[in-house]
């Protein structure tokens, strides 16, 4: 009967090996999260701002604020 032996456990350098693996996983998660935030949130926000300023008329906005009485120091 041949007796199967279990492999010896890796004790020396185990902490360093686990830290390297954990650091790699954390870096990958950071990159994925950053790219997702840029694409899903910031690009959408910037597109909405651009669409707003395509049709924005500052003089019309100023007239509207004057009629509402919000600009007391401005005399047209």
What is the model's pLDDT at position 72?
75
DSSP 50: H
What is the model's pLDDT at position 65?
87
Read out DSSP for 9-76?
Answer: P--TTHHHHHHHHHHHHHHHHHHHHHHHHIIIIIHHHHHHHHHHHHS--HHHHHHHHHHHT--SS---
Instruction: Render each residue's pLDDT in the chain as its tens digit; 76 residues.
Output: 567 888 888 788 889 989 999 999 999 999 999 999 999 999 999 999 999 999 999 999 988 988 888 877 766 6
What is the model's pLDDT at position 57?
95
């Amino acid at each position: 009967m041949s007796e199967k032996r279990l492999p010896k456990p890796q004790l020396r350098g185990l902490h360093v090996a686990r830290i390297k693996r954990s650091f790699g996983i954390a870096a990958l998660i950071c990159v994925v999260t950053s790219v997702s935030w840029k694409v899903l949130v910031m690009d959408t926000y910037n597109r909405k701002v651009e669409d707003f300023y395509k049709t924005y008329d500052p003089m019309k906005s100023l007239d509207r604020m004057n009629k509402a009485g919000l600009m007391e120091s401005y005399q047209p």
